[in-house]
Structure formats: C-alpha cells, structure tokens
Amino acid sequence: MGKEHDVSRVTALMEGLLVTFLWSTSYVLVKIGLAELPPLTFAAYRYIIASTVLLAAALLRNDGIHLEAKKDLPKLFLLGLSGYSVAQGLQYVGLSYLAAVTVTFLLNFTPVIVLLLGIVFSREFPVPLQLSGMTLALLGAYFFFLAPISEAQLTGVAVTLLSGLGWAAYMVSSRQSLQMDRFTTLNLTALSMLFGAIMLLFSALLIEGPVVVLLREWIIVLWLSLVNTALAFVLWNHTLRRMRAFELSILQNTMLIQIGILAWIFLGEELTATKVVAMIMVFIGVLIVQIVKPEQS
C-alpha cells in the first residue's frame, strides 16, 4: 500500500510539473497575442473554446453532466468566477500592464493565500519543514525581482494580486469538491470553466466591445485553448485529487524558473547571477515541500 501511494504521488508530481511547463509557455504566447488582442477578449475566447471541447469530451466518454439541481449550480458558478473570470481574466489584464516575470513574481505569493484558506476551510496543515520550504521559495521569488515597481505599474500589481486571490480560492474549493466525489474531474473542470468563460465574454463585450481576430492570433488562441487549457486543467484537477492544494500551489513556484529560462531563450531577457541564485532557491524550496511526508493526506 505504501509503495502504491509513493508511485501515485510521483505520478501526481509529474503531472503537476507538466502543467506548470505548459502554463509557463502560455506567458510567452499571451504576451505575443496581447499586441493585437485586448486582454478580456483574449481570455474569454480561450476559455470558451476550451470549455466547449471539454464538455464534448465528457459527453463522448458518457461521463454525463450530473447536477444535483440547485445544490451544484452555485458551487460551479463560484468556481468559474474565482478560477476563470477573476484568476485568469485578471491575469491577462496584469500581463497587459507588466512583464511576464513580474506577474509570475507576484503570483508566487499565492501559496501563502492557499495555505491560509486550506487551514481555515479544509483543516489541512503543513508540517514545519514544509513551511520552511515555502519560505525559501518565496525568498527566492523576492530576490528574483528586486527592482522597484513604478506608479504606472500599480494597476497591474493590484489586478495580478487579485488574480492570485481568485486562484487560491479556486484551488481550495476545487479540492473540497473533488474529495467529496460530487463531480468527475472532467465535469468539474468543464462546467466551472464554461461558467467562468461566459462571465468573461460578457465582461469583454461590455468593456472592450467586438474585436476582429487575425489568423496569427487565432492560432495562438486555439493552441492555448486545446493544449494549455483543456488538457492542462484536466491534468491539474486530476492531480488535486491526490495532492493537497497548498502542496500543488507551491509547485507552481517552479514557473518562475521556467518563465525566466523561456524569457531568456525567446524574448532575449537577461539572466543575471542574482536571478540564477534566486531560481535555485525557489527550486530547493519547492523540492522540500514535495519530499517531506505530510501529517495527513
């Protein structure tokens, strides 16, 4: 039984790391797409397409869309609001104001919010060594980006931090729903994403109006929808069944390393010695959180 648990945990870690890599590439693609597309419209198109694909997959698998009438709809609506309308929509807005690395740095504080929400609502407590790992990872994130933020960037900072709060709420609430076995992973992902995408689309139409999308932007939207969203979110929620929200959230800190490398390769951004040391701190901190045995699963 112990060996099976260890294998399951390693598999969950690999799934989580694959998703973080896909999401890291999203930052580069989103920055390219934002040159032509307004942020809310860009996000809405991505998640409308992805949720439609996921719903079709659920029907083809005969998963069914089983809802317990009024009990499930508010839960799915709130998951869509927090995880997609707020977290993903505002992340696009943040990226329209800030560099990708800056947004990633700010979102590295999300595990702190997840930890607090997990303690309050799920009674899930990290062990002291895991807290030490989280602290080291956050210090690494701090040293990665030391430049002061100008007043012109304050709007981007505010919406990005709000995006992180939305994602933290989504992580904790999704884990609770998945542990209760009220939804399959696919159904939870598809339905909550659809509700969130519809809210995003209405917001985009009201704020940004109709938008003409060019061929290059459609290619980016479709790739983000099918691979970096439909596939990635199913894998992420599948991993949430086997790992605590706090542990999986701290795994996202590795995106700071991945985005730093991708920005260096594709965007020509400089990787200084300080940034390299900071990335090593993040990696070690995340590793400590993952290898330490939790008190309860």
Per the document, the length of the chain is: 297
What are the tens digits of pLDDT across the range 189-242? 889 999 999 999 999 999 999 999 999 999 999 999 999 999 998 888 888 777
This prediction's pTM: 0.82
Other residues' Cβ atoms within 10 Å of the Cβ of residue 137: 28
- 60: exposed, middle or buried (Cβ count in 10 Å: 0-12, 13-18, 19+): exposed
pLDDT, average across residues 235-258: 79
Between 177 and 249, the more confident residue is 177
d(CA 103, CA 49): 25
Decide which of 249 and 93 is more confident: 93
- In terms of Cα–Cα distance, which of 103, 113, 111 is closest to 158? 103
Closest CA to 111 of 283, 284, 253: 253
> Tell me: the pLDDT tens digits for 73-82?
888 899 999 9
Q: Which is more confident, 107 or 201? A: 201
Highest mean pLDDT among 144-153, 166-175, 247-256: 166-175
Parse the chain into domains and list their residue ranges: 2-123+151-269
- Look at residue 294 and tell me whether its pLDDT is greater than 70: no
Structure tokens at 78: 């709130």
Angle between helices 232-240 and 2-33 (to 10 degrees): 150
DSSP string, 47-84: HHHHHHHHHHHHHHTT------GGGHHHHHHHHHIIII
